Structure 1
Amino acid sequence: MAQPKAAAQTYSYFDTPDGEETGKKLLCVLRTAVPASISVALGNVMLYSHPKGIVNTGLKMASITLPMVGIASTFVLATNGLASIRKKDDHLNWFLGGFLAGSCTGLWRRNRMFGFNMGMLGGILAAVRKELLVQGWDIVPQDYQFHPGGPTFCLMDYSLTKERPKNWTTGPSP
């Protein structure tokens, strides 16, 4: 049954335990992984590699985009697959999922030692992220305060006169 569009957009990766609703979790991760990897590939094509022709450009874009999307998909599928097989939602699933996702970079670069090292790094980072999730800590807090000169300075209003509210008046009517 089709869900309303608003309900589909509000789904978060952590709404359900690991091993359940893997398809929704995969779509949730791919919603950010695909545009991010296309942006990285586009930056590479326009600023660094400069392939000639539409076919070579498409192949270069695919050679960057597909492995990045594959790495994200590998983490989701491995973590949730292990959780459904083991019937446990613990740090080991996340470590192994991170290890498999990180080792995919070794396949991408065709270097086994690099893949092992990145697998260990990915596994450790994933296990730490799971521990942060279990403890209830946020990496990026939801109630972030804007500070002048911070990373969000471009979102501040630097106009000389700020726009008045639409129901603003100068004072009581005579």
Structure 2
Amino acid sequence: MDYILKQQYYQKPDGQDFTGKMIATNKYMFAFAAPMAVVDVLMYSHPKGILSTIGCFAKWVGPAAGMATFFTAGTYFSTVIRGKDDKLNYAIGGVSAAAVFGKAIRNPAIGFQAAVAFAVAGMLKKISIEEGWTWFPTAEEVERKHVYGTLKTAKYDFTIMKDTPEKGWTTNPREA
């Protein structure tokens, strides 16, 4: 279990460690799809019986697992076959995932639009990796900045007039 939890997608370069990359993407997929399935079961579908509940979970987890798997496989095999580690591999992975998405929602037109969107998103992700910037800041980066309206605001002074610091004098110079 520890092996599964410690897998990260970028531990090794693209084109290596297919199993580790597959575990990493499906781990994040399950973290997204399982809560969505729970919300569907509890708030919308209201299935009667265990088989109907399993079917509702499969409706969410199945396509999401397929999308994560096809993205990883498409990216990995395009890297291995082409012999290059570039943005096109992520675009191919995004198009592969969009094919599963289009089939899952039974609408090829939206699947095509998703293919374009996922390809662009994949290429932007690869550019962010190559150039060293992130889409979302980490917790450490957020803590270093002055953040308003969070639970951390007790650390900051939001008074209208802040206290003036010590001026360095205590008495009248003529009296000293």
Q: Report TM bin, short chain.
A: 0.7 to 0.9
Per the alignment, in what secondary structure is the counterpart of residue 142 of structure 2? coil
Cα distance change on mapping 1:8 and 1:52 into 2, 3 Å: closer
Q: Which residue of 1 aligns with 2:66?
A: 70
Comparing 120-129 and 99-108, the one that deviates more? 99-108
Greater C-alpha Rg:
2
- Partner Cα separation in structure 2 for residue 157 and residue 50 of structure 1: 41
Verify: 1:145 aligned to 2:142, yes or no: yes
Does residue 118 (structure 1) correspond to residue 114 (structure 2)? The answer is yes
Residue 22 of structure 1 is matched in structure 2 by 18
Match for residue 34 of structure 1 among 30, 34, 40: 30
Contact 2:91 2:123 in 1 (8 A): yes
1:145 Cα deviation from its structure 2 partner: 2.6
Q: Deviations over 1:1-54 (max 9, x none)?
A: xxx94x765442112211111111111112221132111111111011111111
- 84-93 or 28-37: which moved more? 28-37
The letter for the 2-side match of 1:144 is E
State the Cα distance separating 1:102 from its structure 2 match: 1.6
List runs of 5+ in structure 1 lacking aligned partners: 159-174
Alpha-carbon distance in 1 for matches of 2:5, 2:60: 27
Q: How many residues align?
A: 150
State the TM-score, normalized to the length of structure 1: 0.78
| Whole-angstrom CA distance in 2 between matches of 1:149 and 1:70 | 39
1:86 aligns to 2:82 (yes or no): yes
Matched, 1:132 2:132: no
Superposed structure 1 runs of 4+ greater than 6 Å apart: none
Q: 1:65 to 1:8 in 2, by over 3 A?
A: closer
Of 36, 46, 49, the match for 1:50:
46
Per-residue CA deviations over 1:73-120 (Å, capped at 9, x if unaligned) read: 110111011101111001111111101112211100111111111111
Structure 2 length-normalised TM: 0.77
Percent same amino acid at aligned positions? 27
Give the CA deviation at 1:157. 9.3
CA RMSD for the aligned pairs? 2.1
Q: Which residue of 2 aligns with 1:108?
A: 104
Secondary structure of the corresponding residue to residue 115 of structure 2: helix
Structure 2 residue identity aligned to 1:72: A
**Structure 1 residue identity aligned to 2:50:** I
In 2 relative to 1, CA 39–134 (structure 1 residues): closer, same or farther, beyond 3 Å?
same
Between the aligned partners of 2:7 and 2:59, the Cα distance in structure 1 is 30
Separation (CA, whole Å) in 2 of partners of 1:109 and 1:11: 30
* Distance in 1 (alpha carbons) for counterparts of 2:48 and 2:7: 41
Secondary structure at the counterpart of residue 144 of structure 1: helix
